[in-house]
Amino acid sequence: MKKLQLFIFDEFCPDYVDGLAVAIAETEEEAKKLIEEKSGSPVNSNRWGNVRIFPLNKKIAFGVIGAS
């Protein structure tokens, strides 16, 4: 079994503003599948945005500043 990782997709499904999707999985493909299952619909390949991958063996923080 591979180690679990934290996947953070920013600029996810940008319509009016960028979205954010998060999953804990072993691979990026598995993370995307879990997010699609949770949202109930497939995500086009050009709407995933950027991905940041973090191992789950150290502390991290990540923030998204909202726009008005």
Helix/strand/coil percentages in the chain, nearest 5: 20, 30, 45
Q: Is residue 60 included in any domain, yes or no?
A: no
pLDDT in tens, 2-54: 899 999 998 888 887 788 899 999 999 999 999 999 999 999 998 999 999 99
Q: Is residue 63 included in any domain, yes or no?
A: no
Q: Is residue 25 included in any domain, yes or no?
A: yes
Alpha carbons 36 and 39: distance in angstroms, whole number: 5
Q: How many distinct structural domains can be found in the chain?
A: 1
Q: Is residue 34 included in any domain, yes or no?
A: yes
Q: Is residue 47 included in any domain, yes or no?
A: yes
Q: Is residue 32 included in any domain, yes or no?
A: yes
Please give the residue range of the domain that contains residue 48.
5-55
Q: How far is CA 53 from CA 2, 19, 49, in A?
A: 14, 17, 13
